[in-house]
With several copies, the nearest count.
Chain A
Amino acid sequence: MQNSRTPVQEPPGAPGRSAETPPSVRALGADPAPLLPDAEPFRVLGTDAAAGADSALLLRLYGELVSGRRFNAQATALTKQGRLAVYPSSTGQEACEVAAALVLREQDWLFPSYRDSLAAVARGLDPVEVLTLLRGDWHTGYDPHLHRVAPLSTPLATQLPHAVGLAHAARLKGDDVVALALVGDGGTSEGDFHEALNFAAVWQAPVVFLVQNNGFAISVPLAKQSAAPSLAHKAVGYGMPGRLVDGNDAVAVHTVLAEAIERARSGGGPTLVEALTYRIDAHTNADDATRYRDAAEVEAWRAHDPIRLIEDELTGRGALDEDGIREAARTADEMAARLRERMNADPVLDPMDLFAHVYAEQTSQLREQAAALRAELEAADGQDTGEGR
């Protein structure tokens, strides 16, 4: 061992040496300044920058926002009719949901959290398949590969390392793929958030993290969640840029995400984006938000409505008129009607599915258990018929 005779036992060497600057064992990362978010969230709508926004994009975002809100309302209504087990609504957060979906290219991947049904729908998935989890007939209703949308993730922040791993794998394969992962303000407190961001930065993985800071984790307000200047400030601790954006400004969110995605795909590594928004509905249909927040706060946020913001810009520049507004509402209503109709049909369930996908090949004990259930079901069937139920 190199220390069996320690230096201190020898007479001290030439004085002065010790005052040298210590050797650096650490590649001091980039200058921290560009990693820090601006003090004010980035905005486009209602500012001078709005004029530069493309009308086609604005109209697309607008249509999706209107449909998105309608989707949230319809899904919430379905819980009251017992058609969904639960629904965590993103009403008020549609700008984030829609911008996240629309900003991705076909080959990119979306990693939604449990609240992000809308983002998955806006990305093109069948809404009934997206709602499968919340209806309760299966855990995930869609094939994630179809539109490159990972399953809605219920354990908070656990989807973030998945996004990093996928993005890293794509980069190793030389594929031009970016992963966009969504998480809530509460989710940033989990260890998985930390580990995912650190892996992403060390690997320079092409991944973008979008924190939808809606002010609450169920009942817990942000002030009890974090004491940071902003959640975007966490980025510097990983060596990635942090960006703060008005989460109700769909154009601003789209712009910031587009920049981050471009940085990611061109080898610039990950970005952390914090979008300031608000959950207008309760946490889920089962929650009573009046227990922990004031109606006045909700009203204040309603006044900064993501749909209104973009509508004002569009009407202001003459790209949208009363007809267009009615048309968007009609499209949304049609979507909702179709959804309602389809959700009102009972899903076709096969209890034997319980055993079908646990392993690639069923183990003998699962075969036994499946056989037992099949026998039970057949017996019950026989009984049912016999009793004419």
Chain B
Amino acid sequence: MTTVAVKPATMAQALRRALRDAMAEDPAVHVFGEDVGTLGGVFRITDGLAAEFGDDRCADTPLAEAGILGAAVGMAMYGLRPVVEMQFDAFAYPSFEQLVSHVSKMRNRTRGAMPLPITIRIPYGGGIGGVEHHSDSSEAYYMATPGLHVVTPATVDDAYGLLRAAIASDDPVVFMEPKRLYWAKADWSPDAPAAVEPIGRAVVRRRGSSATLITYGPCVPVCLEAAEAARAEGWDLEVVDLRSLVPFDDETVAASVRRTGRAVVVHESTGFGGPGGEIAARVTERCFHHLEAPVLRVAGYDIPYAPPMLERHHLPGVDRVLDAVARLQWEAES
């Protein structure tokens, strides 16, 4: 076993490596979707997999997302572990019926006789200058669908770890990849990467005592940056990276909020009907008497995703997070 030193890697590289390792370890793992073969995917996450494992293990499909997911259901019925790629968030919508009416329900329908270990990779979110339909944050739809796991990495480590765990899961996992973090780099040791076990644990990315920022995916770096900036205002913010929206780690989140007494949920998805409502509501149910202020939300506006030239006005940034923190009724404190 050759030891390779820790070196900078992108999230894209870690994801690719997770797919590769999963395929190498388990011949039941099959990757398919639009352009994932020869091209290696439009984000190159599957680059080289067809060359290494053959066209059958990493296959280009016809251009039809319901067909892709529907075929994955059949393949999983026969014992394979399909990993499908939806090219962009909005292009997963044609497969919605297969997802909601079959993928999420098959295990339950058959009293466990027919589990569907399918991983559905969906690059999501904005911030990359994509034109319409290329920047949706669609996680609220999946969260509202019992039977699915919904996970999303925010770090290079987690990209590898969560994707391995997702593929290893005997349940369907909607694996949401924050597009704008694909090329974010971090030190990473590709020789001893580990799966995140079990799926469903949040992680405290930064310890703090004044208030908790609850976030996930593309907004984790935003919150960490906000937490640094907040020091100047005298706030010591804790940042919780949910990693998994389903299952939801009530324990970690509630423990943090009980400690800090204040919380802001930060995500890029639209606010109304978005994940933040659920998160704020459950935190409030669990921590009501510890709360000095209502749990606030910083989210994308309740609008169709903005065109590229206006997206910076739409996306929650450091300032908006700090504004929300400022509205956490600090008067009571002094």
B87-112 CB mask vs A (1 if < 8 Å, else 0) is: 00011011001100110011111111
Residues 121-137 of A, flagged 1 when their CB comes within 8 A of B and 0 if not, give 00000000000011111
Contacts of B308 in A (CB 8 A): 85, 136-137
**Smallest CB separation, A382 vs chain B (Å):** 14
Residues of B near A145 (CB, < 8 A) are: 113-114
CB distance from A6 to the nearest CB of B (A): 24
Q: Are B107 and A359 in contact (CB under 8 A)?
A: yes
Measured CA separation A165–B94 after assembly (Å):
18
Assembled-state Cα–Cα distance A216/B61 (Å): 12
Chain B positions within 8 Å of A358 at CB level: 107-108, 146-147, 302-304
Q: Return chain B residues, CB-CB under 8 Å to A226.
A: 62
**A166 CB-CB contact with B under 8 Å:** yes
Supposing A162-B74, A351-B313, A360-B169 touch, asked if A366 and B303 sit within 8 A by C-beta, the answer is: yes
Q: Are B70 and A160 in contact (CB under 8 A)?
A: yes
Q: Mark A225-259, 1 if CB is under 8 A from B, else 0.
A: 11000000000000000000000000000000000
Interface contacts (Cβ under 8 Å), in number, total 249
A192 to B91, CA, bound (A): 13
Rounded to whole Å, the gap between the CB of A363 and the closest CB of chain B is: 4
Question: Which of A22-30, A34-42, A167-175, A261-269 lies on the face that meets chain B?
Answer: A167-175
Chain A 200-236 interface mask (CB, 8 Å, partner B; 1/0): 0010000000000000011110001110000000000
Bound: A220/B317 CA distance, A: 38
Q: Is B52 an interface residue (CB 8 A)?
A: no
Interface-centre pick from A163, A358, A369, A376 (highest chain B CB count, 10 A): A358
Residues B309 and A137 in contact, CB atoms below 8 Å apart? yes
Do most interface residues of chain B lie in helix, strand or loop, or is the interface mixed?
loop
**What's the interface size class on B, roughly?**
35 or more
Q: Does A355 contact B (CB under 8 A)?
A: yes
Q: Which of A149-170 contact B (CB under 8 A)?
A: 150-151, 154-156, 158, 160-170
Q: How far is the CA of A245 from the CA of B67 in the complex (A)?
A: 27
B74 touches A220 (CB 8 A): no
Given A133-B131, A198-B62, A349-B310, A292 and B39 contact (CB-CB distance below 8 Å): yes
Instruction: Collect the chain B residues with CB atoms within 8 Å of residue A186's CB.
Output: 62-63
Q: Which residue of B lies closest to A179 (CB)?
A: B74
A161 (CB) vs chain B CBs: closest residue: B70
B300 to chain A, nearest CB (A): 10
Q: In whole angstroms, how far apart are the Cα atoms of A349 and B129 in the complex? A: 16
A344 in contact (CB, < 8 A): no
Question: What are 11 A-B pairs with beta-carbon distances under 8 A?
Answer: A137-B309, A137-B310, A161-B73, A169-B74, A170-B78, A195-B67, A199-B67, A202-B62, A220-B37, A354-B310, A356-B112
Given contacts A192-B98, A195-B67, A358-B107, 4 further A-B contacts (CB under 8 A): A143-B110, A150-B77, A160-B70, A358-B304
